[in-house]
Amino acid sequence: MAAPGSPVSDWKYDIIQQIHHRNRVESASFKPVFDAYGKLFEFSDSLKAQNTQLNLYVEKLKEENVRLQVSGGTGGSSASDPRAQERIATLEQKLYKLQEELTEMHRRKGENAQQLIDMKNALQEKERLLADRERRIQDQDATIYGMKLAIKQSEAAVLELERTNQLIKDEQQALHIAYCSMEEKFRKMANENEDLIQRWLRHKADEVERMNIETENQNRMRQRSLQRDIIEAAKDPVAVNLERLLGHDDVPMMPVCCVVIPSTAQRKFEAHDAEVNAIRWSPSGRFFATGGGDRKVKLWEPSPSGAEPECRGVLTGSNAAVMAVEFDPGETLIAGASSDFAARVWTLNDQRLRHTLTGHSGKVMACKFFSSSHRVVSGSHDRTLKIWDLRSRACIQTIFAGSSCNDLVCYGSQNIISAHFDKKIRYWDSRSENAVNELLLYGKITSLDMSPDSLYLLACARDDTVKLIDIRNNQVTVTLCADNFKVGCDWTRAVFSPDGQYAMAGSNDGTLYVWNLKTGQHDNVEKTLKEHTTTITSCSWHPQGNQLLSCDKNKKVVLWSDM
């Protein structure tokens, strides 16, 4: 290598420098740009080529597509192409399969249609069955409904029967109690009897002794009196009747005028706001009293001109329906029996409540003044009779009757006759605890009335008859009945006429029947009076015998009079 400085190295060096400069100017400065350009150019070229290729490919594909469409359209006209042929073959196979499926489907459709028809038939059958069933169900429902009704009715009947049963049981119990007490008494009596028999046997010997002497005397006396009687009888035979009449101090005064049965309803009016249970003329016949379901007792005075009776007073104080009313013989007091388990006494003058007699445990059905105006006897559904003293305002005696009492009458100063639910009439003496006598009839007894001569009883019973009973022998003498006579309730009252010749009672259908007691058993209906429309509960005969009163369950009172 020649050192710089030598002439040879100088020009070489200069040349190298020039070459370097040349390369720098001509190529080095352009190289990166041109390299990049070349790359970009190639890239763009390749992209272009790719693009063209892709375009070409697209075209080809389009062409092929068209061709395929054409071949598809013409249905395999280009059979030359094996691929198309293959495809056609597969397509044909598919077509064949589809056709087979179609046939299968048709067949199934046919089957389904058949099934559908069968099902429809079955459905109709079922519907017919269903309708049939429904009809039967309806029928059965109707039957069930009917049966339910029947059950209800039966239940009601059962209830009724149970109630009756209860009542009878209670009565049985009461009877049992009575029986026990009586047994006790019986034992006492037996002891007493024993004692008495002892004494009696002792006395017997004495008596026999005495009797022998007595008989001796009597024979002698009879001889004498017979002789005297025969002499007197020959003298005056007329005085006997009068003597007999005068001998009865119990019999009230016979009415002055004779009994006339009125045939027209003079007045018909509404007396109470509810049913009228009791009606009674005053002993003088100037007033009459009514007792109603509206808890009131009303006093009425019939107008002499025949106009509507005027209400003279309303006696209040009762807390339930008034079942019976009764005047005292002196016409100063009025007694009422009420369903509120009490009997009440009002004074007529000032119309004030004087006494409320409580102590019964059932509704009081009857109350009567007894022997004088200061005693009252009441009969109740609690199966007892009570005797009250108005001066001391206390119950002085309770009689265990053994059955519900519907009505009672008093006669004499001590005797009471009561009518009972158990179809019996019982006779009582207030001095003893036990029934003196009793009479069994054929129906529940609803009322009692005493004939004016105190020899006969009139008893109304639920077997739709009215019995005339001779008290002396305790026997039914006449049975009064009529075709349409029906006793409407447990407190239907039958009454004697003031002369005792007739009996009167109201029927269920609103007809008032009047029987003649003297004509005998048959065809003894004297008269029927029809004005009421519902059950007649009570009736009363005017003391003078020419006017009648009747009342019904529909608030009405009818005054019958021909005047």
Partner 1 sequence: MSDDREILRELWNGQVPVHFVLSSDETSNMEAPQPYFVLVPRQTYFPLCLDKVNRHFQKYTTQTAAGQEIWLDFDGTPLRMHYPVGVLFDLFAHDALLPWTITVHYSAFPEDELIHLASRDAMESYFMSTLKEADALKHKVTIVSTMQKKDHKQLWTGLLNDRFDQFWAINRKLMEVSSENPYFRYIPFRVYQADKSFIQKLVKPVDEEGRRQTLADLLLQVFPDHQNRKVVIQGVKMSPQTPLQWLSEHFSYPDNFIHICVHEK
Give the residues lining the site for partner 1 (CB under 8 A). Answer: 1, 7, 11-12, 14-16, 18-20, 22-23, 25-27, 29-31, 33-34, 37-38, 41
Q: Which residue has the tokens 């290598």?
A: 1
**∠291-294-299 over CA atoms, to 5°?**
35
CA distance 364 to 214: 54
**In sequence order, what are the residues at sequence separation of 6 or more whose Cβ sits closer than 8 angstroms to the Cβ of residue 111?**
none
**Closest approach of partner 1 to the CB of residue 24, in Å:** 11
Nearer to partner 1, 22 or 352 (CB): 22
**Closest approach of partner 1 to the CB of residue 27, in Å:** 4
Query: What dihedral angle (degrees, nearest 10) is formed by the CA atoms of 107, 113, 115, 119?
Result: 170
Report CA torsion sign: 191, 195, 200, 202: positive
CA distance 428 to 434: 7
Strands of 424-429's sheet, edge to edge? 405-411, 415-420, 424-429, 435-440
Nearer to partner 1, 38 or 306 (CB): 38
Task: Kindly report the length of the chain.
Answer: 563
**Closest approach of partner 1 to the CB of residue 64, in Å:** 28
Nearer to partner 1, 35 or 160 (CB): 35
Nearest C-alpha neighbor of 315 from the set 353, 343, 270, 268: 353
Nearer to partner 1, 15 or 314 (CB): 15
CA distance 457 to 376: 20
Q: What tokens does 261 get?
A: 């049965």
Nearer to partner 1, 41 or 57 (CB): 41
Nearer to partner 1, 34 or 200 (CB): 34
**Closest approach of partner 1 to the CB of residue 48, in Å:** 9
How would you write 186-197 as a 3-class SS string? Answer: HHHHHHHHHHHH
Do residues 550 and 557 make contact, with C-beta atoms less than 8 angstroms apart? yes
**Closest approach of partner 1 to the CB of residue 76, in Å:** 42
Nearer to partner 1, 11 or 145 (CB): 11
**Closest approach of partner 1 to the CB of residue 21, in Å:** 8
Assign 109 to helix, strand or coil. helix
CA distance 439 to 339: 27
Nearer to partner 1, 33 or 240 (CB): 33
Query: In angstroms, how far is CA 160 from the centroid of its own chain?
Result: 10
Do residues 444 and 421 make contact, with C-beta atoms less than 8 angstroms apart? yes
CA distance 350 to 313: 9
CA distance 321 to 293: 4
* Bridging pattern class, strands 475-480 and 494-496: unpaired
Amino acid identity at 415: N
Q: How far is CA 245 from CA 240, 248, 329, 405, 470, in A?
A: 9, 6, 22, 34, 19
**Closest approach of partner 1 to the CB of residue 54, in Å:** 18
**Closest approach of partner 1 to the CB of residue 83, in Å:** 37
Nearer to partner 1, 18 or 90 (CB): 18
**Closest approach of partner 1 to the CB of residue 4, in Å:** 11
Do residues 490 and 444 make contact, with C-beta atoms less than 8 angstroms apart? yes
Q: Long-range contact list for 181-188, CB < 8 A, 24+ apart?
A: 181/400, 182/434, 185/433
**Closest approach of partner 1 to the CB of residue 67, in Å:** 31
Nearer to partner 1, 7 or 237 (CB): 7
Nearer to partner 1, 3 or 233 (CB): 3
**Closest approach of partner 1 to the CB of residue 22, in Å:** 4
Nearer to partner 1, 43 or 200 (CB): 43
Nearer to partner 1, 39 or 97 (CB): 39
Amino acid identity at 235: K
**Closest approach of partner 1 to the CB of residue 36, in Å:** 10
Amino acid identity at 363: K
**Closest approach of partner 1 to the CB of residue 66, in Å:** 28
